[in-house]
Chains A and B, each alone.
Chain A
Amino acid sequence: MTNLFSIFTSSSNSFEGKHDDEVVLLYLHRHWYTLVSKLVYLFLGSLLPFLLIYVFGTLIVHYQLASLVVFLWSAYYMILWYVFGYIITMYSMDIWIVTNQRIIDSYQQGFFNRSVSEVGLENIQDISIKIVGAIPTAFNYGDIEVQSAAAVDRFNFDHIPDPQGVKDVISKAIGEFKANHFKDEAFEVVRQVEKAKVDTYTPAEPSEYTGTGDETPTENVPENLPQ
């Protein structure tokens, strides 16, 4: 029986559709700064009730609305909690996975708008990085653009931490993949040639010999053999 709680303890290097022989090299989310910049607004929003109580406190007491205000306050925090969950969900759904075989781009925009695209390492043609602005430079995050020869001609990694390091990992993975891939192809070609040789081999027909076997060869012997 599968343990229900294994989802909390199983390998973190697993994802839907992962091949058996696939090794995950990188899981990439957007840089934490992009998440924090959104959560700051949420935090400021959570301070709003305090501000309202500070401003309208005397009115609330005067009209005996304390219990109503407390109820609305808790309902408001419920909504903020949901918004917090929504932001975290969108952040965690927007990922890039680099494996030793392919790059997967999983993008979630809203709950019911999800796209997953992938490109094989053999189809990648060029990788470029772009770090624009003071904050990305300070926090070392930026964009990576991967040009490919596949159906999806361009992959964008947006706001990725350490783009140079990620580029190096991808370049190395491409090199290793192509080396292994071409080695396998070369072995396959050699195997096919050898197989073809075996399949088409026909032994030579024995020549007809009618002698007794005691004759001394006198014919077809070159005359200028060294003595």
Chain B
Amino acid sequence: MQALLNYKEWLEIGLLIGMTIYWSFVFIVIYHLIRFGVGTLPKKIAVIFLAGGIMLSMITILFFAQMFNG
């Protein structure tokens, strides 16, 4: 019986789920900083946090792809 998905595709789905959960939490942090932060500093921190999150996510996805491409 042929498997529905190979192990690589399962890992990709796992990564997708992980990223979705991660970005949900990141969104909550950014939302709180912008919505409830007093003054301008929390908003600036939110932008830095967003940029860092995007950068690290891209690096992680890149290394994930590299695992299979050698």
Contacts and interface: CB of A to CB of B under 8 A. Distances in A.
Interface of A: 7-10, 12-16, 27, 67-68, 70-71, 73-75, 77-79, 81-82, 84-86, 88-89, 92-93, 95, 97, 106, 108, 111, 114
B38 A15 contact: yes
Contact of A86 (B29, B34, B63, B66): B29
Category for how many chain B residues contact A = 20 to 34
Q: Which of B22, B36, B45 has the most CB of A within 10 A?
A: B36
A168 B34 CA distance: 31
Given A71-B64, A82-B53, A108-B32, 5 more contacts: A12-B40, A13-B39, A15-B38, A70-B66, A85-B49
B60 A74 contact: yes
18 contacts: A7-B40, A8-B43, A9-B40, A16-B36, A71-B66, A74-B56, A74-B59, A75-B18, A81-B52, A81-B56, A82-B25, A85-B26, A89-B29, A89-B32, A89-B33, A92-B45, A93-B32, A111-B32
B38 A97 contact: yes
Contact of A93 (B28, B36, B57, B59): B36
A88 B42 CA distance: 9
Give the interface SS of chain A, mostly helix, strand, loop or mixed.
helix
B47 to A, nearest CB: 8
B48 to A, nearest CB: 9
A95 B33 CA distance: 13
B60 A71 contact: yes
Contacts of B45: 88, 92
Contacts of B18: 75
Contacts of B32: 89, 93, 108, 111
Please indicate which of the listed interface residues A79, A84, A85, A111 has the most CB atoms of chain B within 10 Å of its own CB. A85
Given A81-B56, A89-B32, A95 B63 contact: no
B37 A93 contact: yes
A85 B50 CA distance: 10
Nearest to B66: A67
Contacts of B42: 89, 92
